[in-house]
Amino acid sequence: MEFYYTLMFFILGITLGSFYNVVGYRLPKGESLVYPPSHCPKCNRRLTPIELIPVLSFIIQKGKCKGCSSKISLFYPFFEFMTGFLFALVYLIFGFSLDLVIVLIFISMSLIIIISDYKYFIISDEVLVVSVILFVITLYFKIGKVQLLYSLIDGVIAFTVMFLNKKLGDFLFKKESMGGGDIKLLFVFGLVLGWEMAILSIFIASFLGLPVSFILSKKNDENIIPFGPFLVIAALIIIFLKIDINTIINLYNLFIIR
């Protein structure tokens, strides 16, 4: 049964991954998520059902459009496969629990943000609002209304820290140092992870983004680097490794205190 459930979560993941890809590309541009239907960006031919099977369609078509034979980006099947892999991994780690629901919501939000922020430098408010609503409902059933209030306060603290960080960056660099979406995203991190882990995600994201920023800056005339993808990857690292404040304290005692 364990293999069966893992496979089901993988299939669910690759299916939703295809949808998240559409959301990430269309929502920031204000386009409908359902119209026009999925089509080839080169010849505009509407895709048939057989061409919409996640991952397998790419393999069956040998990476080419059936209509115009233009190459299909490897990103699409890779993104779908990674979504399936993450969904299956979450099930294996958390089992059937409210934590499973919370992390699946978090992954879904994160994947959409990675696409939209990388492609358009936008973290859509709609994605954050829907995610917060789902988190609040799930957290209410998991921890109750009193602890939920503390989680909301954690969100406000994380939001405030990120806002002040932006203001400091604006002052030091004499230009816009961070988008508003990144600041709002930290509220979500604080709500789900606690303010301490939300702030830790900033440091991890900065560490992850430093080498990549050098590469991306070469291709970007305005030297604008999307920070959102690094933030969500950092948060996912914290979630999957189950890092909490006790982990930080133990590491501090191990390496700092002699």
What pLDDT, on the 0 to 100 scale, is given for residue 99?
Answer: 96
In one-letter notation, the amino acid at residue 154 is D
3-state secondary structure of 64: strand
What pLDDT, on the 0 to 100 scale, is given for residue 231?
Answer: 95
Residues of the chain above pLDDT 70, percent: 91
Tell me what the mean pLDDT of segment 224-236 comes to: 91
- Residues 193 and 201: beta-carbon distance below 8 Å: yes
Higher pLDDT, 160 or 1: 160
What pLDDT, on the 0 to 100 scale, is given for residue 222?
Answer: 60
pLDDT interval class at 216 (50, 70, 90): low
Neighbour tally for 221: CB within 10 Å: 7
Q: Which phi and psi (to 5°) does residue 39 adopt? A: -150, 165
pLDDT interval class at 17 (50, 70, 90): very high
What pLDDT, on the 0 to 100 scale, is given for residue 127?
Answer: 96
Q: What is the pLDDT of residues 161-207, one digit of tens each?
A: 999 988 887 777 777 767 789 999 999 999 999 999 999 999 999 89
Higher pLDDT, 73 or 214: 73
What pLDDT, on the 0 to 100 scale, is given for residue 40?
Answer: 67
What pLDDT, on the 0 to 100 scale, is given for residue 179?
Answer: 78
pLDDT at residue 106 tops 70: yes
Q: Is the peptide bond before 36 cis (omega within 30 degrees of 0)?
A: yes
In one-letter notation, the amino acid at residue 243 is I
Q: What is the CA radius of gyration of the chain?
A: 20
Q: Is 168 left (phi over 0), alpha (psi -120 to 50) or beta?
A: alpha
Q: What is the pLDDT of residues 38-49, one digit of tens each?
A: 776 677 777 777
What pLDDT, on the 0 to 100 scale, is given for residue 218?
Answer: 61
Nearest to 206 by CA among 225, 223, 220, 227: 227
How far is residue 188's CA from residue 156's CA, in Å, rounded to a whole number?
Answer: 9
What pLDDT, on the 0 to 100 scale, is given for residue 257?
Answer: 57
What pLDDT, on the 0 to 100 scale, is given for residue 54?
Answer: 87
The partner residues of 46 in beta bridges, in order of sequence, read 39
What pLDDT, on the 0 to 100 scale, is given for residue 46?
Answer: 75
The partner residues of 64 in beta bridges, in order of sequence, read 71
Average pLDDT score over the chain = 88
pLDDT at residue 225 tops 90: no
What pLDDT, on the 0 to 100 scale, is given for residue 191?
Answer: 97
What pLDDT, on the 0 to 100 scale, is given for residue 48?
Answer: 73
- The CA-atom distances, in angstroms, between 228 and each of 115, 124, 182 are 10, 11, 6
